[in-house]
Amino acid sequence: MTAQVASAESSGQEPASDTILSEVRNHIGHITLNRPQGLNAINLDMVRQMQLQLDAWAKDDTIYAVVLRGAGEKAFCAGGDIRSLYESFKHQQTDHQDFFVEEYALDLTLHHYRKPVVALMDGFVLGGGMGLAQGADLRVVTERSRLAMPEVAIGYFPDVGGSYFLSRVPGELGIYLGVTGVQIQAADALYCGLADWHLQSGRLEDLDRQLDALKWELTALKDLQGVLAKIAVQHLPDPPLQRLRPAIDHFFALPDVPSIIEQLLQVTVFDTHSWAVDTANLMKTRSPLAMAVTLEMLRRGRHLPLEACFDLELHLDRQWFERGDVIEGVRALIVDKDKKPQWNPPTVLALDAEHVASFFSGHEA
């Protein structure tokens, strides 16, 4: 869903036809998310427009590849337009239910697309933006990229395939990213396998020029890789998570969220104690229920294929607006902005294992 809790205002401020821009140049279909003032957060209408365009291009033999990008310099996509989903639920409408079904279908379309997809992950790539980008074949980050799945900050869980792509990040790094909701930059994105190439943002226009002039010779994917190989790199030095990896692998393999926080505060792994205390304090601000469900979801996701992960997330979605913390989280952080969410339960020590397990009841893996 969304990962930038203070980003987009409610949908409906822009003409629907202008929120998704598409054009074809040199056999490449270009899709631009065009809500820069809302950090390109996506709503139901935008999901539907993208789905229609991708379906059309999939059948068009003159289209060899697709490029996804966000308008402006601040964001590729800061997630789903969570305020509109909040309003849908509050007014007993169905848009919030339809949104998840159709957003997940769009994400699956990208994962299985029969033509190579390039995602230009410049700026914020959060929540639903990660759902779009992680289905791409070539994921490009810049020095401005900020990647995260911080749904737990608004009392939600990392969806849009997060149970699949986070659970497959090496070691316990994906668990750490999902349960804490922290942002990472380009070097860590490459290290975690959540991006493939790094390109300086100043060279994005150069990339466009080279794509416009590309002479198609091999397979479309290889031709695109050849362009990127000339102007981008696949590794950056000294990713911060590499140094923290032993500590993260220790703490986030512990059985449950209370154990993780307790050990972060009491146990020192190498020279990471300051980071551990900061992490524990951050987790104390998150929804305890959302963190606990996220931990269980990601551990289940490790053993599930992609489609089953989306199915699991949809199973959780169908309960979450009624039983989870997301309505309170959005109220406190986006609507009323008092920044004092009343989580239920209020602390991790009050978590009930049976209650957490009940969210997964009835789901067939």
Task: Assess whether pLDDT exceeds 70 at residue 337.
Answer: yes
Catalytic residue among 81, 151, 172, 313: 151
Distance, CA of 4 to CA of 193 (rounded, Å):
22
Task: Note the pLDDT of residue 365.
Answer: 62
Active-site residue 128, yes or no? yes
Residue 255: which residues within 8 A CB-CB, separation 6 or more? none
Residue 84: phi, psi to the nearest 5? -65, -35
Catalytic residue among 107, 122, 137, 159: 159
Phi-psi group of 92: left, alpha or beta (phi > 0 → left; psi -120 to 50 → alpha; rest → beta): left
**Which residue has 């800061």 as its token pair?**
78
Catalytic residue among 128, 131, 135, 181: 128
Q: Tens digit of pLDDT for each residue in 192-206?
A: 999 999 999 999 999
What is the helix, strand, coil percentage profile of the chain, to 5?
A: 50, 10, 40
Task: Note the pLDDT of residue 182.
Answer: 98
Q: Mean pLDDT, the chain, as a whole number?
A: 94
State the amino acid at position 354 in one-letter form.
Answer: E
Percentage of residues in the chain with pLDDT exceeding 90? Answer: 93
Q: Tens digit of pLDDT for each residue in 215-266?
A: 999 999 999 999 999 999 999 999 999 999 999 999 999 999 999 999 999 9
Residue 29: phi, psi to the nearest 5? -85, 125
Distance, CA of 144 to CA of 141 (rounded, Å):
8
Active-site residue 80, yes or no? yes
Distance, CA of 163 to CA of 296 (rounded, Å):
10
Task: Assess whether pLDDT exceeds 60 at residue 11.
Answer: no
Active-site residue 151, yes or no? yes
Catalytic residue among 70, 79, 80, 155: 80
Q: Tens digit of pLDDT for each residue in 70-94?
A: 999 999 999 999 999 999 999 999 9
The pTM of this model reads 0.94
Distance, CA of 78 to CA of 51 (rounded, Å):
19
Q: Tens digit of pLDDT for each residue in 33-80?
A: 999 999 999 999 999 999 999 999 999 999 999 999 999 999 999 999
Q: What is the side-by-side strand order in the sheet with 75-77? A: 75-77, 124-126, 146-148
Active-site residue 338, yes or no? no
Beta strands in the chain (DSSP E): 20-25, 28-33, 65-70, 75-77, 117-121, 124-126, 138-141, 146-148, 197-198
Look up residue 15 and give its two tokens: 């003409």
